[in-house]
Amino acid sequence: MTRLFSTRRPRGFTLIELLVVIAITAVLIALLLPAVQQAREAARRTQCKNNLKQIGLALYNYSERTNVFPPAYLSNIDSVSGLDTGPGWGWASFLLADMDQGNLLTKINFNLPITDPANAALAKTYLPIYGCPSAPDAQQFTIPTTDAYDSDGNSLGSTPAFLPFVVAHATYIGVNGNGGVTGNQAVNDGAFQENKSFRHAEITDGLSNTFFITERSSKMSNTTWVGAITNAGVIDNKTNDPADTEGAAAFVLGHCGAHAPNNPLVFDADATSSGHLGGVNFLFGDGSVHFISSLISLPVYDALATRATGDIVGEY
């Protein structure tokens, strides 16, 4: 009698065969994962460059209206102590209209300090255009400040104790030159200075040879787009040591000065750094954006950080 159906059970995978398949799959994933990560980082670095190009266009739109580039930040100076007394609004806040943030711009009272209750909620506004996607930090962070106000918004002046103040996180900073981040215009030779707006003609080293805007990763220290918060400080995140707290200018400014970009051995809260491997993106005065390697010659790097010193810039 002919059998119409086979009663033989189908053969499945053996345990060894299954383990071999899993091992091969794991090897393929291990081989592909670095390539996928590199592709993702390349995309993030490109987005960062696009952000800086948008900032470059905004800077030129601003300069077309005002005939100058924006100052690093604006602050009154105490005649006795020489310290900033506010309001402290910085270069990125002055570009809001050119960054499609006109509604936010109209709500800010630039005559009042950043920490004033009238501006406090606005200072928390996170703007993705001012953030590098390779540095996915929290949208806000808390800083210590001694500025105090009562419930009616009246200033109580500087208090002995530090109070927490929340601001929006950002990535991009103005280049102050090589002399460290201070308000001393005689020392700082970059394109962005406190209470100083430069005309195109004052960048005599050439716009294509001058750093304007760069990056700071939160691995070094936190920064924000709003400006330099008066009576506040930025902690070096590498050491998390309050004794290393930098002045408020560090929020919107950075410097070069013998520190190669993304140098892992540098413990300077003001230095340039990024979430990219091997270097940092820089916006130049002519609107171009270049990725500057951590291996750049330091004399060339420092020359690019100045606006009017007559340095000869080599290959970078």
Residue with tokens 């943030």: 101
Question: Looking at residue 285, what is its pLDDT?
Answer: 97
Pairing mode of beta strands 253-254, 172-175: parallel
Instruction: Find the DSSP H helices in the chain.
Output: 15-66, 91-94, 102-107, 117-120, 298-304
Give domain limits for the chain: 48-304
Here the tokens at position 268 are 């300077």
SS3 of 147, please? Answer: strand
SS3 of 57, please? Answer: helix
Query: Can you tell me the distance from the alpha carbon of 129 to that of 98, in angstroms, rounded to the nearest whole number?
Result: 12
Residue with tokens 């402290």: 88
Question: Looking at residue 107, what is its pLDDT?
Answer: 97
CB 211 within 8 A of CB 253: no
Q: pLDDT higher for 72 or 183? A: 72
pLDDT per residue as tens digits for the range 107-128: 999 999 999 999 999 999 999 9
The DSSP bridge partners found for residue 170 are 223
Q: Is 212 exposed, middle or buried (0-12, 13-18, 19+ CB in 10 A)?
A: buried
Question: Looking at residue 243, what is its pLDDT?
Answer: 58
Output Rg (C-alpha) for the chain, integer angstroms: 25
Query: Can you tell me the distance from the alpha carbon of 254 to that of 270, in angstroms, rounded to the nearest whole number?
Result: 5
SS3 of 9, please? Answer: coil
pLDDT per residue as tens digits for the range 220-254: 889 999 999 888 877 778 777 665 666 777 788 88
Query: Can you tell me the distance from the alpha carbon of 116 to that of 146, in angstroms, rounded to the nearest whole number?
Result: 12
CA atoms within a 13 Å half-sphere pointing along the CA-CB vector of 176: 30
pLDDT value at 151 more than 50: no
